[in-house]
Amino acid sequence: MTVNMPLVVVLGFFAWGAVKFLGVRTWVVVLVALFGFWLSHTFLAPAIGSGTRSGVDIINGSHD
């Protein structure tokens, strides 16, 4: 069975778990999210995108 879930939902669950069980402060989660949005608008965005796609392909086992 295949389940399709948006990455934002998965990351939200991880963030909730980090705040709830690991004691990470909420402002740290917000700061990391804002840094991620800022980073996605820099010259590093294509490298991050291709690295993410490659990692997902490796996990899914769909090699071209």
pLDDT per residue as tens digits for the range 15-59: 999 999 999 999 999 999 899 888 888 998 898 888 888 888 888
Does residue 13 have a pLDDT over 90?
Answer: yes
Rounded Cα distance between 29 and 2, Å, is 29
pLDDT for 51 equals 87
Does residue 63 have a pLDDT over 70?
Answer: no
Please provide the size of the chain in residues. Answer: 64
Task: Enumerate the domain spans of the chain.
Answer: 26-64
Residue 61, Ramachandran bin (φ over 0: left; ψ between -120 and 50: alpha; else beta)? left
pLDDT band at 64 (very low <50, low <70, confident <90, very high): low
Does residue 2 have a pLDDT over 80?
Answer: no
